[in-house]
């Protein structure tokens, strides 16, 4: 009898808890949670929605796992450009998309921006560059430019739409396109609630990108069945070659008939 009464009291207490007191994770929804990459994959639309306090701003970060990349460094020798060495860049995310309801520097202090790595100066403090020439600043700027052009980095402000407030708080929504250059793997969506220049609440949500269909088959054969993968490549090359030959023959035959 005592156990039953205790259970009823606990359920009643949970029912009476206001929405503002609920954990941030319970007030945020990410759709979809799994992105499937098929043969005609061209990116995926992702939606993040939730509620925050009336006096708070929102920053949403989509981040990939850290990686290490090696690049050729070009230099000029006389009138020509040649490779002069290697540049290794590590401790950088494979994907970084930053969205906010207002400019990031308007809702967070510099230490907070550096802590969460939300802009190029903050990323420069976290990344490691190995190069014979010690022009690290230029290498970092070129790397950010390359990533932005590729679509892997988007550090511009905006994107988070704040809606009309209600009794439970201030609703917000974000809809963005996950770039097609994002490889299969595990990503993390972080929702940061900001007030007075600091992050007062944060929650992380996983976003999984997986291959399906023919791309998944090719990836499996390449990593697990190398001999079958080699045979598949030969077959595809033969089909492509015969197909091009057939199309060329048909076009040439039509031209001859036209004459």
Question: Is residue 107 in a domain?
Answer: yes
Bridge partners for 128 per DSSP? 90
pLDDT of residue 14: 40
Question: Is residue 88 in a domain?
Answer: yes
| Domain carrying residue 229 | 225-258
pLDDT of residue 20: 41
Question: Is residue 2 in a domain?
Answer: no
pTM of the model: 0.74
pLDDT of residue 259: 56
243 and 206 within one domain: no
169 and 127 within one domain: yes
Helix axes 226-258, 213-224, angle to 10 degrees: 130
Q: What is the DSSP string of 127-139?
A: -EEE-SS--HHHH
Count the helices and strands in the chain (H runs, E runs): 7, 13
pLDDT of residue 17: 41
Name the DSSP letter for residue 167: T
Taking CA 178 as the corner, what is the angle to CA 146 and CA 189, rounded to the nearest 5 degrees?
A: 100
In angstroms, the CA 232 to CA 243 distance is 16
Question: Is residue 176 in a domain?
Answer: yes
If one counts the domains in the chain, the total is 2
204 and 94 within one domain: yes
Question: Is residue 9 in a domain?
Answer: no
Per-residue pLDDT for the chain (259 aa), expressed as one digit of tens each?
Answer: 454 444 444 444 444 444 444 445 557 899 999 999 887 888 899 999 999 888 899 999 999 999 999 998 877 777 787 777 889 999 999 999 999 999 999 989 999 999 999 999 999 999 999 988 788 899 999 999 999 999 999 987 789 999 888 776 789 999 999 999 998 999 999 999 999 999 999 999 999 998 887 555 555 556 665 666 577 666 767 676 666 766 666 666 655 555 5
Question: Is residue 217 in a domain?
Answer: no
Helices within 56-157 (DSSP H only): 104-107, 110-116, 120-126, 136-150
Token pair for 178: 């996950």
**How many residues in total does the chain contain?**
259
pLDDT of residue 98: 96
161 and 67 within one domain: yes
Token pair for 195: 């007030």
């Amino acid at each position: 009898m005592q156990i039953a009464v205790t259970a009823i009291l606990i359920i009643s207490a949970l029912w009476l808890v206001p929405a503002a007191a609920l954990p941030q994770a319970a007030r945020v929804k990410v759709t979809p949670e799994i992105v499937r990459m098929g043969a005609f994959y061209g990116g995926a639309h992702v939606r993040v929605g939730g509620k925050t306090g009336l006096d708070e701003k929102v920053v949403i970060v989509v981040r990939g796992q850290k990686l290490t990349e090696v690049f050729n460094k070009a230099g000029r020798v006389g009138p020509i450009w040649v490779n002069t060495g290697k540049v290794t860049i590590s401790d950088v995310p494979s994907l970084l998309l930053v969205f906010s309801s207002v400019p990031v520097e308007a809702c967070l202090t510099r230490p907070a921006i550096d802590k969460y790595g939300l802009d190029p100066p903050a990323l420069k403090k976290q990344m490691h560059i190995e190069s014979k020439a010690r022009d690290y600043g230029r290498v970092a700027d070129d790397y950010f430019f390359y990533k932005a052009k590729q679509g892997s980095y988007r550090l511009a402000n905006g994107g988070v739409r704040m809606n009309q407030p209600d009794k439970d708080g201030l609703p917000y929504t974000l809809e963005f396109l996950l770039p097609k250059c994002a490889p299969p793997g595990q990503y993390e969506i972080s929702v940061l609630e900001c007030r007075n220049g600091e992050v007062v609440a944060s929650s992380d949500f996983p976003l999984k990108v997986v291959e399906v269909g023919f791309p998944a088959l090719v990836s499996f054969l390449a990593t697990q069945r190398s001999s079958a993968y080699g045979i598949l490549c030969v077959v595809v090359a033969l089909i492509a070659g015969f197909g091009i030959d057939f199309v060329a023959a048909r076009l040439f035959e039509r031209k001859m008939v036209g004459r």
